[in-house]
């Protein structure tokens, strides 16, 4: 009987031991599974975040033909039959009798020739072909400016002039995006040529605006049309960049007008970011890392942005946003320093 009792007790311990082992195994499986799922979700979350930022960057950098109210170019300057396309353009100009109609056509041709240049840069790395396309665009810019000079009335005096100017501003913002991106895409031999084309574009942009709009009405005209340009939730940052570049081109009497437009765009950017979730504010730093353009101008915008935030009471949310802007500015400055060391 004693042996039976001992055997019975042993069976109980073995059963309990096996049960505990199973329990421990199950717990370990649940813990490991939880960690793997957590890691998986984290990786997915990071990938989704990167995808979101890339989409925002694309929205503020990529420009297609329809954005400029033209068709995808098929006949390009490297084609022997390209002269036929130019003949067609001359015929259309011949039948455009009013100065506004001629200016509209010339502006359309600058859009077409810029899209030709963009398509060629994706198709070939031959610098001489790309340089020829750049020259076509520059020549058309000159012709467009000459056509605008023949318009006698201001935007407020003629609805057709106002319509032309509004569309012109929206298109030239997109021109700047394309030319900025092309600076990093064309062969090194064509870099100076594309840089010069961008400078000339900004000059013509400024000249046409000042020709067709009174200085005191310029801020509102610029702001209204910049808002109409499609882009990401961070697009006011890119709008500020082109306003800073235009401010360097305009004469002294027009600088105040451009600065006023800058101040209002900065307030809009601040308002946009304040309304965003903490996650989207964090993504803004990644957006700044990836977006193209003049990084020195980006630093200037962030410096002004920091000063704008400091004007309001220091709430926890304002302090958090200010800290993120400071960190973003420091990251860009560090990368600029590293780039200068390698040049």
Distance CA 72, CA 70 (A): 7
Using the 8-state DSSP alphabet, how is residue 67 labeled?
A: G
Average pLDDT over residues 167-173: 97
Distances (CA, A) of 306 to 75, 263, 324: 48, 13, 10
Give pLDDT, residue 323: 87
Distance CA 209, CA 221 (A): 9
Question: 76 with 116: CB under 8 angstroms?
Answer: yes
Q: Is the pLDDT of residue 164 over 90?
A: yes
- Helical axes 235-247 vs 191-212, angle rounded to 10°: 80
Distance CA 248, CA 255 (A): 8
Give pLDDT, residue 308: 85
Give pLDDT, residue 319: 82
Burial 19-28 (b: 16+ CB within 10 A, else e): eeeeeeeeee
Give pLDDT, residue 125: 86
**Taking all residues of the chain, what is their mean pLDDT, rounded to a whole number?**
85
pTM listed for this prediction:
0.83
Confidence of residue 30 (pLDDT cuts 50, 70, 90): very low
| Domain segments of the chain as ranges | 61-213, 234-343
Average pLDDT over residues 265-289: 90
Instruction: Write the pLDDT tens digit of every residue in 38-57.
Output: 445 444 444 555 678 999 99
Question: By mean pLDDT, which of 71-75, 188-192, 233-237, 311-315 is the weakest?
Answer: 311-315
- Helical axes 218-228 vs 252-275, angle rounded to 10°: 40
Nearest partner of 75 among 120, 110, 125, judged by Cα: 120
Give pLDDT, residue 37: 46
Question: 325 with 281: CB under 8 angstroms?
Answer: no
Q: Is the pLDDT of residue 279 over 60?
A: yes
Average pLDDT over residues 98-115: 97
Distance CA 179, CA 176 (A): 5
Give pLDDT, residue 49: 54
Give pLDDT, residue 138: 97
Question: By mean pLDDT, which of 46-50, 163-167, 183-187 is the weakest?
Answer: 46-50
Instruction: Write the pLDDT tens digit of every residue in 295-333.
Output: 899 999 999 988 888 877 777 877 888 888 888 888 888
Distance CA 70, CA 174 (A): 13
Instruction: Write the pLDDT tens digit of every residue in 215-238.
Output: 999 999 999 999 999 999 999 999
Q: Is the pLDDT of residue 18 over 70?
A: no
Q: Is the pLDDT of residue 291 over 80?
A: yes
pLDDT above 90: percentage of residues in the chain: 62
Q: Is the pLDDT of residue 5 over 50?
A: no
Q: Is the pLDDT of residue 151 over 90?
A: yes
- Listed in order, strand segments (DSSP E) in 271-318 are none
- Helical axes 218-228 vs 159-183, angle rounded to 10°: 60
């Amino acid at each position: 009987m004693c042996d039976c009792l001992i055997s019975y007790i042993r069976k109980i311990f073995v059963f309990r031991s096996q049960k505990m082992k199973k329990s421990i195994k199950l717990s370990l499986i649940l813990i490991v599974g939880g960690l793997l799922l957590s890691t998986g979700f984290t990786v997915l979350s990071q990938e989704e975040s990167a995808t979101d930022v890339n989409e925002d960057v694309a929205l503020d950098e990529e420009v297609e033909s329809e954005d400029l109210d033209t068709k995808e170019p098929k006949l390009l300057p490297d084609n022997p039959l390209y002269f036929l396309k130019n003949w067609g353009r001359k015929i259309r100009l011949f039948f455009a009798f009013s100065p506004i109609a001629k200016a509209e056509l010339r502006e359309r041709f600058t859009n077409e020739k810029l899209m030709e240049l963009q398509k060629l840069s994706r198709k070939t790395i031959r610098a001489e072909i790309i340089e020829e396309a750049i020259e076509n665009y520059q020549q058309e810019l000159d012709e467009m400016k000459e056509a605008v000079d023949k318009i006698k009335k201001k935007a407020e005096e003629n609805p057709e002039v106002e319509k032309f100017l509004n569309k012109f501003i929206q298109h030239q913002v997109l021109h700047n995006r394309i030319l900025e991106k092309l600076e990093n895409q064309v062969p090194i031999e064509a870099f100076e040529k594309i840089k010069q084309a961008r400078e000339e574009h900004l000059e013509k942009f400024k000249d046409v605006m000042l020709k067709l709009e009174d200085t005191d009405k310029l801020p509102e005209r610029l702001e209204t049309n910049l808002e109409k340009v499609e882009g990401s939730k961070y697009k006011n940052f890119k709008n500020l960049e082109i306003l800073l570049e235009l401010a360097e081109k305009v004469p002294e009497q027009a600088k105040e007008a451009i600065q006023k437009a800058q101040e209002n765009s900065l307030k809009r950017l601040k308002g946009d970011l304040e309304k965003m979730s903490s996650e989207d504010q964090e993504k803004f730093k990644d957006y700044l890392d990836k977006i193209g353009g003049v990084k020195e101008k980006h630093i200037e915008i962030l410096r002004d942005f920091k000063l704008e935030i400091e004007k309001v009471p220091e709430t926890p949310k304002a302090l958090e946003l200010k800290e993120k802007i400071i960190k973003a500015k420091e990251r860009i400055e560090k990368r600029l320093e590293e780039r200068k060391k390698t040049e």
